[in-house]
Structure 1
Amino acid sequence: MSKNVINTELMLEVYEGKDLGLTYSVEYSVFKVWAPTAFAVSLVLYETDGNQLNIGFDPSATDSGRIIYMQRQNGGVWQTKLSGDLKGKYYMYRAVFADGNVTEAVDPYATAVSANGLRTAIVDLRRTHPEHWEKDIAPPLQHPADAVIYELHVRDFSSHESSGMYYKGKFKAFTEFGLRDSEGNAIGIDHLVELGITHVHLMPVFDFQTVDELSVMKRGSSIEHTDYNWGYDPQHYNVPEGSYSTDPTDPGLRIREFKEMVQALHSRGISVIMDVVYNHTYTVEKGPFEPLVPDYFYRRDYLGRLSNGSGVGNELATERPMVRKYIKDSLSYWATEYHIDGFRFDLMGLMDSVTMREITEELRLEVNPNLLLYGEPWTGGDSPLATKTLKGVQRGKGYAVFNDNFRSAIKGDSDGWGRGFITGEYGKEGDIAAGIKGAIHEFTDSPVESVNYVTAHDNLNLWDKVLTVQGGFQDAVSRANPYVNVDLENILNNETVRRSLLANGIILTSQGIPFLHAGDELLRSKFGDHNSYRSGDTINAIRWNMKSEFKLVFQYYKGLIELRRTHPAFRLHGRHEIERSLEFLRCDGGIVSYLLRNHAGGDLWNNITVIFNANNDRVKLSLPEASNGWNVVVDHTRAGTEAFRKVAGSEVEIEGLSMMVLYDECGKPAPRSKIIEVHYERPDGRYQGWNLWVWDTGIQDGQCDFRYMEDGRAVARIEVLPDTDSIGYILRLNDWEEKDGDGDRFIDCSKDDMLIKVMVIDRDQENDGISDDHLQLTS
């Protein structure tokens, strides 16, 4: 392909409507597809799902279908409207191009498909709602710092025989309440509730390509490892994966069961994050885009070859208008139809920064102000994209990135013998300190732009990484039993256990958003498999019998999460709050210790000391002065919020490979902050790209987005210190492309009111010199 062709692609007609795909009703159905380069497009209506014997991927072998010619509309869209109730039928789009090529494809905007995604299914989405779906409400998230994320694969959750679940490997396994092991320990969804996490991050649950849905047996049966995959191979972006349904041949059932899963998690106080893969598709020719709009959706290099920044042969051209629109429409659909609470973006580096910015502001403003958004700020290879979303690009933009600096400093490399702080490498103390502060002096403006983690689904998991550094997995015995050296009578004294607890102990007490890989709290092992994306249940399944064996480890994790949830000092909201409240006491010789002072973040505890000892031996450390001594709530034996011993004097001894959390006294703090609500009104109703630039808040200066609409106005919430007299602000478009009004503006917040409302009204948008009213309202 030549550069001229590429330039032509960028000039294709653009459609701005929100109704691509199927609009279904009992009376009629409207079909719309964007195919601007097609010579003609037809709707092919089928009675069957395309999975008849010997059909394979040829959907016309025994069912020729009814052909309905579509009319070309503005914006490169083809449309037809059919009367009557078409529910239960299937359809495809057939496109004819000027060169005589004819293709037939599933609707790229499909919301339901047949088994293995062969044909688009027509369903009434209203009939897929579980009972009381309209009352389903996500658990409240007051601030991103309050989140504790738990990454989980749907099948891993329930496939092991020890799960006791009926719906093994299915969405419905999350609806099985009250499960207990033989010793009475909660397992399944009740385990997640007991652990205390706030968000389940589900690895890909959209329809992916590499699992044959018809070969995966239905509910209650055993599942063979031959049909296992993580799901990073997108097929239909807006459809739930059929292999996680109890009957993938029923297009509506997978939708209902997905909603039942979300509803069940919400009912137990847990929000749901989807892992989304908008950076590539499994294939190009048989992917969801190429058959209908050739050479548009995929990025190419300067020679016209498919670029391969994903490492799997292609990457989506997110910077192009209709690719960007598709991604935003898809995310909005999941958040609206399925009540999804957040999204994790795979290889976010391959998504252009403008797309990520628009996703963030539009989804929050138009769909859900509390959506949690984060992703991988890297690529899988070289890409010609100039505006990659890499670390630092997210500054002030409202979404977060994985902090791989912190990850590597804690554990070392991801798959080998390389060491980090908790695996015996000196010299990493400064990097640990930087991560503890939420990377605010590295690549973030705010701590909640950093997702802090040690391990995820990729690479060696935590137990296996620590064991590898220690020389484990050297023989058949250690591979068959990674716990061969663990004394079950003295678990918390085991070196591998201690290093593992220290790793996530750092994560759970650091500023930012903590992220845990499912099963860490059970010392989960994948038997040294560093890339288990298709290794099956034998390797990947969570073994729920481990909870009773490693109950003390689980309780330690639970205690750390409770500590974080209960004490806002570990959940500071902004750069200035951290710089004012967090002081490092020591960062050398395998020791990192710091002080959270003066009721940090409005905490009940006055001063909190946190110590990490990565040495094998005990170490004595000096403590800040405390008139009544220091109360210990975490050490090498337990973790929680209640003091179980006291340290008098100015020194404390901390065990090797352990952490300690102490506080001096408990008292009533001053109010943490007060809120300024800015209500912004534009007669044209266009708020996209507009934001506030604020200063002198004492908590978090810089960009502040409008987060929701109220009475036709965009609303932003600014958190300021209670004793703040005045803050400054400027209304701007994106990054200073335009300002609304001349000069700096200021808001008086000297009164004792804890909520201050300000109205900003643009009175004249027709002139370059914009005149505004700034009205301070009653709180």
Structure 2
Amino acid sequence: MSSNYINAESVMETYEGKDLGLTYSTEYSMFKVWAPTAFAVSLVLYATGGNGISAGHTGDYKDSGRIINMQRSDGGIWEVRVSGDLKGRYYMYRAVFADGSINEAADPYATAVSANGVRTAVIDLQDTNPAGWDQDTSPALPHPADAVIYELHVRDFSAHESSGLTHKGKFKAFTEIGLRDAAGHALGIDHLAELGITHVHLLPVFDFQTVDELKVPGEAPRSPLFTDYNWGYDPQHYNVPEGSYSTDPASPPTRIHEFKEMVQALHSRGISVIMDVVYNHTYSIEKGPFQPLVPDYYYRHDYSGRLSNGSGVGNELATEQPMVRKYIKDSLSYWASEYHIDGFRFDLMGLMDSVTMREITEELRLEINPNLLLYGEPWTGGDSPLATKTLKGVQRGKGYAVFNDNFRSAIKGDSDGWGKGFATGEYGKEGAVASGIKGAIHEFTDSPVETVNYVTAHDNLNLWDKILATQGLRQEARLLELENGRLRSGGDLETAVEQADPYFAIDTLDVLENETVRRSLLANGIILTSQGIPFLHAGDELLRSKYGDHNSYRSPDCINAIRWENKKKFIPVFQYYKGLIELRRGHPAFRLHGRQEIERSLEFLRCDSGVIAYVLKNHAGGDGWNNIVVIYNANMGPVTQCLPESSGCWNIVVDHTHAGAEAFRQTENGSIEVAGLSMMVLYDKYGEPEPRSKVVEVHYERPDGDYRGWNLWVWGTGIQDGQRDFQHMEDGHAVARIEVLPGTASIGYILRLNDWEEKDGTGDRFINCSGSEEQVLKVTIRERKLEHDGEAADPLQRTS
């Protein structure tokens, strides 16, 4: 190991400024890079992107590079100001270390790059804004429980011929509207809007490494490192959109402009955009932007000094290091502000330390967008020396959510094998499913919006193929055995896909009678009627198959592309999903906000022998329906379920034939028969919706203006007690909104720093909520040290 390689913990210099990377203007460009252990650093300006494509420049800017020395400043920063308009040029940093070694790397804070990320590009970001970008706004998200997430890969969305889309595999495909199939069914972005989802979760769309952005269709990859397709969990440049999704990867501004067009188009249809982010590892170490400039700092090491491998791909980013933590927060802030991104999903979040996750949540919401949706995978891909992993339970009260794999496994069984769950034919899973229905509030959450509920995602067998496996129908369906995108037995993959028949047993004249269809609707029906945040894998509503590929991360389009022709074939399935989403979004009883609200409103009627039944009672969540009964029957045959006493009839809105928010039949009996492998939703009476809560809006004033880490600990709300973060700034002070049950006389609170590191005041304090009919009660609290317990804060202003 050369002498410039250092123990990361010995690096003491850090930098807090928000101006790392390139600051461009037509008069000059300022370059700043953090490289505290370098002996010298230079800026190298180039005329081309380094991949054989000329930028058409001449003069001093030869492709061999013009070297400009940078000056060292405080905090380990090297900087230089270069006069003139550099737009259209490219640059790299060249670092020299004390042992004489020289490394050249792209800017870690690059916001634009040449094709395949070879060099950093100088652009004017203002040039990349589509018309009306300044007026683009995120769709409203009153509460995280209101979200319905749809996980989607950019290329999968449009690659298949049946999509009808012109810009196949590109960001611009999301801007194409008005497309219909031969039967008149909406395709593309219109399909997403019709389905009713609130958020599209895009698999990685930052610049990743293994897809050749310059590949000519029909030609072989130019390097063994390249593939034609990848999910994108191989990060290269974290702050740049992926070039293979652009119509012109060789033009650095084009990919940015087209990405913004995609976001704008989705926003215009009322759909928010979530980015899948991968801050736990990089694809390459030596050729990435971190290791060449600050060797060994950005990567986590085990106790013997070797690179740790909790990601399973050879490295982990050391998120606990101050400048790595800063980099992640700066990166997320950039995407949320520059690209109007509405949320983030964190890959292998278990490898990110809990302090980083807490600070991300608090600071992004306080400084950028109070309604950002944040969630991630609370596990690792292997052993890691990180002591403060973000695992299930760590998120309690912290404002972000985790995937509920307990619920997933209870519903469907294992991920890739024959193992069964509740919806796939296994008794004994009812209790685990019931726990998920309640938002895991008696497992690992403090609130239902800390759990993301799902049965399948991009990883592992998708839902249709998994159910076929549990039925022992893989061979009959002629599903394939693949590895790394190729047939294990050899042969032509496209031919094998054409010969497969995953829908062999479906009668297209009676789609909803098929057993596999019914099990799939039951599985996601549970997800869409449970407390928490529901998450669907793209294409489930079209009975999407990946032909048995359980790890399609580098498989071609014939495996991964969504086949839009299925919408016409299986339109009753699409309509069923649409109806369930409409039901959920139209009725707050399915979107309860807190533990106390769930415990008061949700009661199980039965939970055994393949049947789960529960009631949401007494206008739960302010719902207009008085009592709502939900029944899941995982048995092959019908079951009879007793209904709670009611003075009138029960109205059925969901059964094995139909799902929606309007009653289509009724029963006056005290019991109901539920068909095999199906669900049912009924309500007894309709009345005017009741106020679900009052809001106490707490305005906190600190003379020092430093609100980092401060939060409220509240009790007596009747909806959700525990930690409440300040979510936005107003007139220089921090604001938090607390829901309280109507009629609540007072709530208690403590102002604290992080997890009880410090308190503002010495005892319990209370807010008087009585005596007002106003819907929003404003309370101003100023920093002070109390000398006795029980002092109350009086409202200073009330508004309705």
**C-alpha contact 2:212 2:227 (8 A) present in aligned 1:** no
Q: Secondary structure at the match of 2:763?
A: coil
Show the 5 A alignment for 1:313-352: 313-352=314-353
Q: Report matched runs for 1:181-200 at 5 Å.
A: 181-200=181-200
Give the match's secondary structure for 2:554.
Answer: coil
Q: How does 1:632-643 map to 2 (within 5 A)?
A: 632-643=652-663
Q: CA deviation at 1:477?
A: 4.0
Instruction: Note if contact 2:49-2:90 (Cα within 8 Å) is conserved in structure 1.
Output: yes
After TM superposition, list the pairs within 5 Å mapping 1:134-213 onto structure 2: 134-213=134-213
Structure 1 segments unaligned to the other structure (5+ residues): 55-59, 219-224
Structure 2 equivalent of residue 655 of structure 1: 675
1:642–1:475: structure 2 CA closer, same or farther, 3 Å change rule? closer
Write out aligned runs for 1:612-761 (5 A): 612-750=632-770, 751-761=772-782
Cα 1:475–1:659 change in 2 (3 A) is: closer
Deviations 1:263-290 (A, max 9, x none): 0000000000000000000011112200
Report what 1:95 is aligned to: 95
State the alpha-carbon separation in 1 of the partners of residues 2 and 111 from structure 2. Answer: 35
User: How many residues are matched?
Assistant: 766
Matches of residues 284-303 of structure 1 in structure 2 within 5 Å? 284-303=285-304
Match of 2:495 in 1: none
1:70 is the counterpart of 2:70: yes
Query: Structure 1 residue 9: deviation in Å?
Result: 3.3
Of 278-287 and 510-519, deviating more is 278-287
Residue 513 of structure 1 is matched in structure 2 by 533
TM-score by length of 2: 0.94
> 1:222 — aligned with what?
none
| Equivalent position SS for 1:778 | strand
Corresponding position: 1:268 with 2:288:
no
* Identity within the alignment, %: 77
Deviation at 1:777, TM superposition (A): 2.0
Partners in 1 of 2:670 and 2:785 — Cα distance?
A: 65
Counterpart in 2 of 1:417? 418
Aligned partners of 1:217, 1:5: CA distance in 2, in Å? 42
Tell me by how many angstroms 1:12 deviates: 2.8
In the alignment, the residues of structure 1 paired with residue 314 and residue 798 of structure 2 have an alpha-carbon distance, to the nearest angstrom, of 58
**8 Å CA contact 1:41, 1:69 repeated in 2:** yes
Indicate the SS of the match to 1:14.
coil
1:213-255, CA deviations, whole angstroms, 9 ceiling, x for partnerless residues?
001559xxxxxx9510000000000000000000000000000
Whichever residue aligns with residue 64 of structure 1, its letter is S
Equivalent position of 1:390 in the other structure: 391
Q: Deviations over 1:134-182 (max 9, x none)?
A: 0000100000000000000000000000011110000000000111001
Counterpart for residue 596 of structure 1: 616
SS at match of 2:796: strand
741-750 vs 249-258, which deviates more?
741-750
Q: What SS does the corresponding residue of 1:269 show, helix, strand or coil? A: coil
- Name the structure 2 match of 1:526: 546
Note the 1:103-118 alignment, pairs <5 A. Answer: 103-118=103-118
Query: Relative to 1, partners in 2 of residues 1:8 and 1:535: Cα closer, same or farther, differing over 3 Å?
Result: closer
CA separation of 1:44 and 1:644: change in aligned 2, threshold 3 A: same
TM-score, normalised with respect to structure 1:
0.96
Cα 1:449–1:10, aligned 2, differ >3 Å: closer, same or farther?
A: farther
Change (3 A) 1:7 1:97: closer
What do the CA deviations read for 1:386-412 (whole angstroms, capped 9, x no partner)?
A: 000000000000000000000000000
In the alignment, residue 670 of structure 2 is paired with which amino acid?
S
Q: Which residue identity is paired with 1:45? A: L
Task: Letter of the 2:308 partner, please give it.
Answer: S
Tell me by how many angstroms 1:764 deviates.
7.6
Matching residue of 1:47: 47
Task: Indicate the SS of the match to 1:740.
Answer: strand
Out of 188-197 and 745-754, give the one that drifted further: 745-754
Cα separation, partners in 2 of 1:61 and 1:123, compared to 1, 3 Å: closer
Match of 1:67, SS? strand
Provide the rounded CA distance (Å) in 2 between the counterparts of 1:614 and 1:773. Answer: 53
Q: Which amino acid aligns with 2:575?
A: Q
Which residue identity does 2:128 align to in structure 1?
A: T
Could you tell me how far apart the structure 2 residues matched to 1:778 and 1:554 are? Answer: 46
Distance 1:240 1:392 in 2: 33
How far apart, CA to CA, are the structure 1 residues paired with 2:377 and 2:793? 42
Which range is displaced more, 60-69 or 567-576? Answer: 60-69
State the alpha-carbon separation in 2 of the partners of residues 593 and 641 from structure 1: 19
Q: CA deviation at 1:3?
A: 14
| 2:85 alignment partner AA | D
The whole-number CA distance in structure 2 between the counterparts of 1:3 and 1:612 is 65
- Give the AA of the match of 2:373: L
SS across alignment from 1:569: helix
Seen in structure 2, the aligned counterparts of structure 1 residues 380 and 728 have a Cα distance that, compared at 3 Å, is: same
Tell me if 1:502 matches 2:522.
yes
Counterpart for residue 585 of structure 2 = 565
| 1:365 paired to 2:385 | no
Q: Contact 1:240 / 1:254 at 8 angstroms: preserved in 2? A: yes
**What per-residue deviation string (whole Å, max 9, x for no partner) do you get for residues 533-553 of structure 1?**
000100000000000000000
Task: Report what 1:469 is aligned to.
Answer: 470
- Displacement of 1:776 after TM fit? 3.2
8 Å contact kept, 2:6–2:295 = no
Matched, 1:443 2:464: no
2: CA distance, partners of 1:234 / 1:216: 23
Change (3 A) 1:697 1:213: same
- What letter matches 2:277 in structure 1? V
- CA separation of 1:476 and 1:590: change in aligned 2, threshold 3 A: closer
Aligned-partner Cα distance in 2 for 1:48–1:478 = 47
Q: 1:764 to 1:572 in 2, by over 3 A?
A: closer
1:425-480: CA deviations, max 9, x gaps? 10000000000000000000000000000000000000000001111221574551
- Give per-residue Cα distances to partners, 1:172-216, cap 9 Å, x unaligned: 000001110011000000000000000000000000000000015
What do residues 608-634 of structure 1 show as CA deviations (whole Å, max 9, x unaligned)? 000000000111111111111211000
Name 2:215's counterpart in structure 1: 215
Q: CA deviation at 1:481?
A: 1.1
